[in-house]
Structures are given as C-alpha cells and as structure tokens.
Structure 1
Amino acid sequence: MNIYAVHLITFSPTRTSKQVGEAIVRGTGLSEITKTDLTLHPAEKLEIPETTLVVVTVPVYGGKVAPLALERMKCIHTSGAPVVLAVVYGNRAYEKALAELDAFISERGFKVIAGATFVGEHSYSTDKNPIAVGRPDADDLRFAENFGAKIRTKIETAAGMDRLYTVDVNRIQRPHQAFFPLFRFLRKVVKLRKSGVPMPRIPAVDVELCNHCGYCATHCPAGAIGKGDECSTDIEKCIRCCACVKGCPQKARTFDTPFAVLLADCFKRQKENRVIL
C-alpha cells in the first residue's frame, strides 16, 4: 500500500522531542509533510485522514507523558490513520509513558504501527550536573532516520490497511539498566525525602542578570511567565520543563534541585534508543 503524506505532532519545550520527530519524518522519505507543534498552543479540532502517516513525539516527565502534551492533543482524532509513537526521556526511565501514550492515542482512533523510546538531555541537566548532555546527538538522529525508513518499508510491503499490523508497545525491549546505580538512586531518593529538605518548585531568577528580554515568557509552554514580569513564575502553572532555564540568553534562570545531583551521579551510563515495529 502507498501513503504519501506524513503529519508530525510534537510537544517539545526544549526541542529534544521535536528533533527526534523530525528525524523520523526525514527517514520516511515522504514529501508531503505537515507539522503540528503543541508546545505553546493546543491543537484546534483536527481530523486526520486514514491515508496519512502520523508521527507523535513527546517528552517524559517523572516516568509519565508530559500531562500538558496530552491535554493539547485531546482534539485530534482519526478513523484509522497509522501512527508512530516516540517518547523521549532523560536517561533515567520512561516507566509506562509509552504505554500511556499508546492508550491515549488509540482512544482517538489511531492505529499504532510502531513505537520508540529515545534519550534526550534531561530538563534538569546543567554544566555542574550533566544528564545525557547533547542528546539526541548525531547518532541518535541517524538512528531515528533509519527507524523512519523501516516504517516506510513496513507500509509499502503491506497489502492494504487491514494488513498494516499494529504493535504492542509493552513488548518493546527495555534499555539496559545496571542494578547498583539504580539501587543507589532509589536509596538516596528515600533519604532525601525523609530529610525534609525543601524541593524547588519553580526556577530561581537572578534579578541582576535578567534584562527582561521576554525570551522566557515567549517560550514558556505553560504560560507561567508574564511578559514584563519575567522575574516571577506562576507556581501553579510551571511544569518544570526548564525551557526558560536552558534558553535564557542572560543565564538569569536556574533550577537547582537536589534531584539533578542524584540523576547525574547515578545515571552516567548512556541508555540506548529502542524501537518496535
């Protein structure tokens, strides 16, 4: 069977998920490309044709799909369009995020024909506490493009839509996780929580460095920062994606959480990307 169009749907505050999605799309070789970026705005009511391949890429926060990403996809539906799902996590674990995305997307009429888990630089990563820095890197993106090419082959070799088989994303191979670093991380998390050390809920702002350029307000996916009031962050809206921290031209914003230290210490070994199709 032939499909000529591909539609990329992504939520990507720090551009890791977007890079992965764009690489998958490139790999398919399909020329008719539509993109829906949900990072700053929800999708309007959108009905996707059955003859369009859809690629959905989202970040993982705390082992779950970013809740705001799901909220902004609620109005997207189809009557059987094939979809590829990819979750991007910060080198710790994606837990049940891929299965969660599968259930959400399937409820909206999509046919899941492939799934993937990719590593992206962690939102909490800093120069002092690096966590999967620079990922997805060139090798990751080549891997994503090859994945896209395999998806195109799967579609072309199917005799028809009814022969384009779905996948069970729960059967995807998990990346290798050494026992002792994980045990050390869990033990330290328990100790940290018992200590009563207050956890930051929003980024801190150095008012001496902030020049009110408005970058953070423009790029905050949750609308937690107001234009002209860049030194404040709405604690109820902030999703701790750290887009404002990583993108601030003046380096005026920081998110100094003890979890960054633990993640950098316990998950130094880089995990592998995995796919199922």
Structure 2
Amino acid sequence: MHTVWKGSISFGLVNIPVKLHAATEDKDIKLRQLHKKCNNPIKYKKTCEHCNEEVQPEDIIMAYEYTTNKFIELDKYELEKLKKDQEAKAVDIINFVKLEEIDPIYFDRSYYLSPGDGGGKAYSLLRDSLANSGKIGVAKIMIRSKEKLAVVRPFNNALIMETLHFPDEVRAISDVPNIPENIELSKKEMDTATLLIDQLTEPFEPEKFTDDYRTALMELIKEKLENEKGVEAKQLDNNVVDIMKALEESIKKTKAKKTTRKKTEERKKA
C-alpha cells in the first residue's frame, strides 16, 4: 500500500514512528473530453487574459486577494519556512474525547496508520489503550502543505486517522434557507413514521451497498467496446509541420529577395 506521509505521533512522552496510507480510493470512471474534429484529448493551459498568452510555471507567483483585484504577494521561501515551522509540531495528540461527541459533518478523509521502523510496541500501546478506554485522540497534522485537525482511533486491529474540518470551515446551519420551524405534527403521523423507521432498521453492512450508476456506466462501456469500433485520435505528423514551416519561411525569404532586387533595379534606373 502506497505511503503518503511519514512521521511520528506522540502522546505524553510516548513517540510513535508511523506511516500514513490512504484508506479510501476514488472509483469514479474517468471520461476524457475529445475534440470532435480529430478525437484528440482536450488540454487546459494556464493563460493570462491581460497579456493574452500562455504562462509558464516559472512565471507564476503566489498571492492572496485581500480585496477585489488587489493582491499581496507571498514569497515561496516564506511559505516554505512557514510550512517547516508548522510541521515540527503538527503530530502531537492534544487530548482525548469520545467518538460520539464529534458530529459526522466534521469528518473529511480517512487514512490507515502503520508503525514505522521500531515503532511496533508503542503503536500497540496506543491502539490497545484507546480501545480499552473507549476514547479517541485529537491531533493536528500537516498534509500536503495544509494543517489539518485529525482524530486517531483503533479500527479492527490497526489505528486509523481521520482528518476533520476546522469549525470555521463548517457553514452555519442558520444560513440554510427555508428550514421549517414549529410545524405541528399529529401523534398518528409521528407514530406511523416511527413505525416505518423501525421496520427498515437493520445492522449497517456496507458491503450490501454498491454504486449502481458506476456499474451501469461500466456495462455500457463494455457493451460499446464489444459492438462498436473505437475512435482513434488523429496524430500530428511532425514531418508535415516541419515541411510547412520550411515552405512558409522559403516564401518569406523569396518575397524579401524580390523586394530587394526590385528596389535595386529602380535605383539603377533613377
């Protein structure tokens, strides 16, 4: 399993070298956009609207837009230093809480934690002590230049880390429009709804659920591959391009020579 991050997690005086592995993967079927004329994939280029030209990576700077169309530039060395300063203190477990105290709206992504070299015993200590206490650890960690709030908890026979959204990243429920309040519901309506919920209640078994759209899309693709001939992108012939450029340059040079010759002849006649 691919390692996405290496470091350590500490609680108290215990330091645990760990490796981070993505616990989930994107199973979406990727569809490409092609140019209808030649079936070549569409590419997106970074351009400047003001200069009307493509911008190369070395010509791009980072900046923060503090008001409309006004920016403060951030030097890449300043950003790198800030990142390194935060990385040194980003993996400490701050405190311990109960899992049920955290609303699912805060959860972002899940990662498996495996012990690094020599970290097996400390890893087991944290895993087993969390399982015995019924608590989870709250920590901060730097991943891909961004500080994230996270929780560490036992999962089967391993530790799992789940990143969380910071409170200011979760929008206020009061901003949601048209939420009904003080709607009177009869006892019969409530009893019927509760009965329906009870009848449909069963243990959560995630393997029972599948992505029906993805399955149907994959079946459609397989069917088309069996019954239709795929399209092929028209490759650009570099030789043709080189020849065309050579011809165009030759025409320009020929025109220039004719113009020079004509001016010379006119001077002689004068």
Under a length normalisation based on structure 1, what TM-score does the superposition of the two structures give?
0.20
Query: Greater helix percent: which structure?
Result: 2
Say which structure is richer in strand.
Answer: 2
Larger radius of gyration: 2
* Higher RCO (C-alpha under 8 Å, 6+ residues apart): 1
